[in-house]
Amino acid sequence: MKLHRAVLRACAVMLVSTVAMTGAMTGAASAASYELNINTALTTDDPIYKGLERLRDRVAERTGGELAIRIFPGSQLGKDEDVLEQARAGANVAVVVDGGRLAVFVPEFGVLGGPYLVSGFDQVRKIVTSPMFDAWNAKLKAASGHTALSFNWWQGDRNLLTNRAVTGPADLAGVRMRTPGAPVWMETIRAMGATPTPMGWAEVYPALQQQVIDAVEAQTPAAYGARLYEVTSHLTKTAHISLITGLVTSAAWVDSLPAEMQTALKEESLAAGDYASGLTGESIVALEADMASKGMTVTEIDVTPFREATAGVYELLGYTELKQTIDAMLAE
């Protein structure tokens, strides 16, 4: 088994090296001494992508072009889990990823995807710039060889996209709903009344079109970018999860950079996360209005039944004390 994992990691490094060489051959970042390839499942019009462009440009400016960043939208480098494995092997790749996918290495990260954990970006930022989060990141480096450059990439609140009206958990009985495969996401959707169905983001549109799934839960910018208003008819604003994501890469690769370059990369990653999160907040009202103009019914509901239904998820996954710690932090 260990040999098998070693072979996979070696192949991952070779794959990313090939991608980098291809980029160099086409003239991309050929003058740079160091290069970071960033993967995201999102489209180029998403606010998070705009933040990545800002990061690319500011890092190039601060390092005199010595550190080049290349962005791969639409999961061009593979699924998030695959890119995390490449980073674990020491490859020069990064991925915009939620805490649930890191929980397999450090369980505490999973709480970031918990239901109704925060309200708004200010609370998100308070958590992910805290000494508590820094301790999680140190554990991540020791456990898997990853490091989060920043984790303040807020993608908005996740809502329900269905083909029938939803007012409470009972309306989701028997509904096959796509969600990421991390336990905190799966248990949240199950507690909300639906049947969680994990699959890659790129598969969602055809799966809805072919009725492989009945519904999806997602944040508004991603739902709009994926044109889900074409294959669903109702957007119900449950805001059940605030999507907190970060830019995660290889700790060994970061450590190989000159000290001043490491500082520039981390500082600009945090600044870009703030920028992208601000764009996300600004975009949501306009995007929902546009989806409504295309025929989607956008509905505000009383989320109390969903909040009550999902309250037990923290205890189920062993996050009771951690949730209390976060609640106390946010109340300060």
Output the pTM of the full model. 0.86
Residues recorded for the chain: 332
pLDDT at 233: 98
Model confidence at 328: pLDDT above 50: yes
**CA gap 225, 220 in Å, rounded:** 8
Q: Please tell us whether the domain made up of 2-110+120-154+243-282 is placed in CATH 3.40.50.1860.
A: no
- DSSP string of 160-196? EEESS--SSGGGGTT-EEEE-SSHHHHHHHHHTTSEE
Per domain, the residue ranges of the chain are 2-110+120-154+243-282, 158-242+285-331
- Could you read off the pLDDT of 186-227 as tens digits, one per residue? 999 999 999 999 998 989 999 999 999 999 999 999 999 999
Residues 6+ apart with CB under 8 A from 29: 23, 35, 68, 69, 70
pLDDT band at 257 (very low <50, low <70, confident <90, very high): very high
Distance CA 247, CA 253 (A): 14
Q: Does residue 11 register a pLDDT over 60?
A: no
For the chain, the straight-line distance linking the first and the last C-alpha, in angstroms and rounded, comes to 47
Mean pLDDT in the chain? 91
**One fold for both 2-110+120-154+243-282 and 158-242+285-331?**
yes
DSSP designation for 208: H
Fold of 158-242+285-331: D-Maltodextrin-Binding Protein; domain 2 (3.40.190)
The percent of residues in the chain predicted with pLDDT above 70, rounded, is 91
Tokens encoding 302: 């009383």
The pLDDT, as a whole number, for residue 72 is 97
The whole-angstrom separation of Cα 195 and Cα 179 is 10
Mean pLDDT in residue range 261-289: 97
> What confidence score (pLDDT) does residue 181 get?
87
- 114: nearest Cα among 105, 124, 122: 124
**Comparing 22-31, 45-54, 306-315, which segment has the lowest mean pLDDT?**
22-31
Q: Rounded to whole angstroms, how far apart are CA atoms 57 and 75?
A: 21
